[in-house]
Amino acid sequence: MHLGLVHYLTVSAVLFGLGLLTVMTRRNTVGILLGVELLLNAAALNFIAFEHFVAGGAAGQVFTIFIITLAASEVAIALAIVLQVYRGHRSILADRLTDLKN
């Protein structure tokens, strides 16, 4: 059996599916953030796999560096927001944060 692009794409696709499922179904806001991390990692893995097998050059790895940068700043901001929400509501369950509904 030969290890090819399709194997890495499969891993990445399944990981993306798991991340999407996490984002869609979780009630805990931190749980949703974990799902976003899974999504970003799946996308980064795809970039690296395509660079290794198809494109060559350095573009794939550069994009992955930027994905990691964005993910780090995203998680810092998002967790700061989560902390503020927890202070205001005593809860971080996404379906209880309905202040804007009324």
Partner 1 sequence: MAVDLTLVSFFALAALTLVSGAVVAFSRNIIHATVALLGCFLGIAGLYVQLSADFLAAVQVLVYVGGTLTLILFAVMLTARIEDVRTSNTSTGLPVGVALVAALLLVLGKVATTTAWPETPRAPMPSTAKLGHALLGDYLLPFELGSILLLAAMIGAVVLARRAVKRNWEKA
Residues that bind partner 1 (CB under 8 A): 1, 3-11, 13-22, 24-28, 30-31, 33-35, 37-38, 41, 44-45, 48-49, 51-54, 56-59, 61-62, 64-66, 68-77, 79-84, 86-87, 92, 95
Q: Nearest approach, Cβ of 100 to partner 1 (angstroms)? A: 19
Q: Which is nearer to partner 1, 87 or 101 (CB)?
A: 87
Q: Which is nearer to partner 1, 77 or 100 (CB)?
A: 77
Exposure b/e, 2-11, CB count within 10 A at least 16 = b: eeeeeebeee
Q: Nearest approach, Cβ of 97 to partner 1 (angstroms)? A: 13
d(CA 75, CA 20): 17
d(CA 60, CA 95): 38
Q: Which residues pair with 28 in a beta bridge?
A: 93
Q: Which is nearer to partner 1, 54 or 100 (CB)?
A: 54
Q: Nearest approach, Cβ of 5 to partner 1 (angstroms)? A: 5
Of residues 33, 40, 42, 37, the one with CA closest to residue 13:
42
- What's the residue count for the chain? 102
